[in-house]
Structure 1
Amino acid sequence: MIEESFDPDTDCRLEKVSLDDVSDHIFWTYSKCKPRDMQNLGYISRTSHTLPVSIKLQPEFILQAKLGAGVSSPTTDSGRRHRRTFRSQSSEGGTLEFDISQSLELLNSASESSTTGAVLWQVSPLFAEWVLAPKSVFYNLFVGGNVNVIELGAGTSGVLASAFSLFMFLSQSGLYVATDQEHLLPLLRKNVKRNLGSVRQTIEQITHASDPPLYNSLTMQEDLRTLPTKSLHRKQRQTPARQQQPQCPQIEVLELDWERARSSTAYIRSVLYPNTDETDEFDIVIACDTVYNDFLVPPFVETLNTVASNRTHILIAMQMRSHEVQEEFLTEALSNDLNVWYVLPEHLSDSMKEGFAIYYIRKNINT
């Protein structure tokens, strides 16, 4: 659970957006942060079945990860261990290397189901790399352990689930639920499962652990085709044998249909917390490049309100394509008891300062 120390109203890196100034805000963002070449609307490639993705880890992240894991330098003559060599050893940072499978068949099909999630869109790796930087606005929301995250519209790439699992592996705790429509889940599950191996290798390099921590999952078994009914639920894990093992993160891939937000969310909670009415809140809701179609704006905002509690931090990253759709989203959110703040572009990475927008959203607890 995240400590309540993040105050968007006093954070100078954020600017609050009100219903009265949405139009002015949109005009300003498109004037100052005008998108560069649309780059095929934002997809990285629609001709490659597999894409390599590299996410840079800054030296400060490596240092903090080592300190958090208790890694220290060789024993001194006095028998004491010290950590003073970390900064020089971590001066070059590190990299997460992923291989992302895409479904070109689905992308080019005439299916009535959504096909946009069949390929990787550029905002996801850029957003992941930015958040993983210790000086980023939202970095501290993810550290500290036992953080519950749900991602909306994850598509098939699983980049965010794989990248942000690094926080959870290092703390050996937490929950990450990647969601999308049912027909996208098999490839999403495949990508996440494969790239968690890269995350574990990175942890091994950082901490020098010969046996990096594993993860629990009830929806990523090899033979799973539908959502489970008799899998290793969190309640079933509370056995003496499991309690004797080190705590490890839980990573899930589940269906969430925005047009059935309430029933989908209820089902997700029943899978995560079977046989009990007591459920944990989601600490963080993430959505990348989910604001692109005006038809989907109302159900998307309803979904945000459904999955979030009054304490939930909602992070929305988008590529700036249509000022009309972006304005409609902000208006819809602000009209439905959500408070919105805009991350000022000078606090984004260089790759995101033009053509991208990131919003921080909280439920309005005063209504």
Structure 2
Amino acid sequence: MNSHLAELLAIGEEVTDPEEEAFLLFSQEIPTGNLGFIDSRATSLDVTIRGNEYSIHQSPTLLSSSRAGGTTGAVLWKITPLFAEWISSPSNPLWIHSFLSSDSVVAELGCGISALVALALAPTVQHYIGTDQEYVRRLFRANLDANAAVNAPSCKQKGTKSKGKSATKKLQPGGNPTVANVTFTTLDWETDQPGLLKSCIESEAGGGRDAPHRNDDDKEEDLGFDLLLSCDCIYNEALVAPFVRTCSEICRLRPAYEPSDESEPHVGRPTVCIIAQQQRAPDVFETWLRETLREFRVWRLSDEVLGDGLKSGTGYLVHLLLAREKS
């Protein structure tokens, strides 16, 4: 195993027993509150991430509709801004250990309408694909467009002040857009083929500068991703199996995790999968973990790595997954 991967895996504790993990996590005191949304009645919300102010449009009407297939992605949930801040921070171990870089291609499952993780992370990676149901597309794109002028890399650092106002910065129209490298596509966890995800990048970008670079010397085109993300998609036991299967199929577009691998740091690197979720029902969590351990090795990230927003006791959990070698 190359040193970068070994250092990355040191940021958490490996999980091997779903019942033990569920008991450990759910025997702790968990903050009480609603299902996890910020404000399900508001049509827009202002959110600050790492000194950047985003205006997020949402749809309370759609959330309360009887649309088949669910509508939970129609509003912004509490964990999403916290996760977006954590994953986009330069101090995140994925950046420190070079598993995220300006050349990275990232995919997100169940991105929802906010596009918030994409807005926070896309300016610093090569390309970002958000996936969800078709009803999400319009508001996802609207939120990208509405916040296109927010320039994350050049914003003031959190905690600074200017003339007594909050430490946020928003570029005027005509500023440096940061979302040209974001693609949205539908992905049905039960019927669609994850191997086709990257083709939608080239289709939207026209094969131009926003499409991922190809190495003509490679024998095979890399259909995989450097990072697969999911934020608060685990709440319904019926969705667990197709969700885990989709995660596995996407991660297996790259080589699986092999502890004895002595390859070069940038050759044969596996897809890192990060699953963030709110603690709700212990039986659903245990079902997810049991299903996940069949396909992945799993690490629960430490409080030191997660920081105050996502650490133990906040009601949120973050696990790192690496696909196992098929037996």
TM-score normalised by L of structure 2: 0.77
Change (3 A) 1:214 1:352: closer
Q: Does 1:253 align with 2:184?
A: yes
Structure 1 CA distance for aligned equivalents of residues 143 and 302 of structure 2: 32
Change (3 A) 1:129 1:205: closer
Gaps of 5+ in 2: 158-170, 208-213, 215-219, 256-269
Q: Which amino acid aligns with 1:16?
A: E
Q: Which amino acid aligns with 1:5?
A: H
Partner of 2:144: 192
Give the length in aligned residue pairs: 279
Change (3 A) 1:312 1:328: same
The 3-state SS of whatever aligns with 2:233 is coil
Is the 1:180–1:255 Cα contact (8 Å) retained in structure 2? yes
Partner of 1:85: none
Alignment partner of 1:177 out of 123, 129, 139: 129
Q: Does 1:146 align with 2:98?
A: no
Structure 2 CA distance for aligned equivalents of residues 52 and 9 of structure 1: 33
Partner of 1:122: 78
Is the 2:148–2:178 Cα contact (8 Å) retained in structure 1? no
Alignment partner of 1:166 out of 109, 123, 128: 123
Q: Does 1:54 align with 2:48?
A: yes
Partner of 2:154: 203
How many angstroms does 1:278 deviate by? 2.8
Partner of 2:260: none
Q: Does 1:360 align with 2:320?
A: yes
Output aligned runs, 1:279-298, within 5 Å.
279-298=222-241
Partner of 2:291: 332
How many angstroms does 1:188 deviate by? 0.7
Partner of 1:221: none
Structure 1 CA distance for aligned equivalents of residues 8 and 290 of structure 2: 20
Partner of 1:28: 24
The 3-state SS of whatever aligns with 1:328 is helix
Q: Which amino acid aligns with 2:15?
A: V
How many angstroms does 1:267 deviate by? 4.0
Structure 1 CA distance for aligned equivalents of residues 103 and 240 of structure 2: 31
Query: What is the root-mean-square deviation of aligned Cα atoms in Å?
Result: 2.7
String of CA shifts for 1:284-341, please: whole Å, max 9, x gaps.
Answer: 0000001110000000011101112231000000000111111101100112x21111
Is the 1:176–1:252 Cα contact (8 Å) retained in structure 2? yes
TM-score normalised by L of structure 1: 0.69
Partner of 2:276: 317
Structure 2 CA distance for aligned equivalents of residues 182 and 216 of structure 1: 20
Output aligned runs, 1:57-96, within 5 Å.
95-96=51-52
Change (3 A) 1:259 1:205: same
Structure 1 CA distance for aligned equivalents of residues 60 and 323 of structure 2: 38
Change (3 A) 1:110 1:175: same
The 3-state SS of whatever aligns with 2:198 is helix
How many angstroms does 1:136 deviate by? 3.1
Bigger Rg, structure 1 or 2: 1
Is the 1:261–1:306 Cα contact (8 Å) retained in structure 2? no
Change (3 A) 1:154 1:323: same
Gaps of 5+ in 1: 57-94, 169-173, 218-249
String of CA shifts for 1:152-174, please: whole Å, max 9, x gaps.
Answer: 00010010000002323xxxxx1
Structure 2 CA distance for aligned equivalents of residues 134 and 204 of structure 1: 13
Is the 1:317–1:357 Cα contact (8 Å) retained in structure 2? yes
Partner of 2:114: 157
Q: Which amino acid aligns with 1:203?
A: S
Structure 1 CA distance for aligned equivalents of residues 41 and 202 of structure 2: 41
Structure 1 CA distance for aligned equivalents of residues 75 and 53 of structure 2: 18
Change (3 A) 1:203 1:365: same
Q: Which amino acid aligns with 1:46?
A: S
Structure 2 CA distance for aligned equivalents of residues 280 and 177 of structure 1: 13
How many angstroms does 1:27 deviate by? 0.9
Change (3 A) 1:347 1:214: closer
Q: Does 1:42 align with 2:40?
A: no
Output aligned runs, 1:206-221, within 5 Å.
214=177, 217=180
How many angstroms does 1:261 deviate by? 3.5
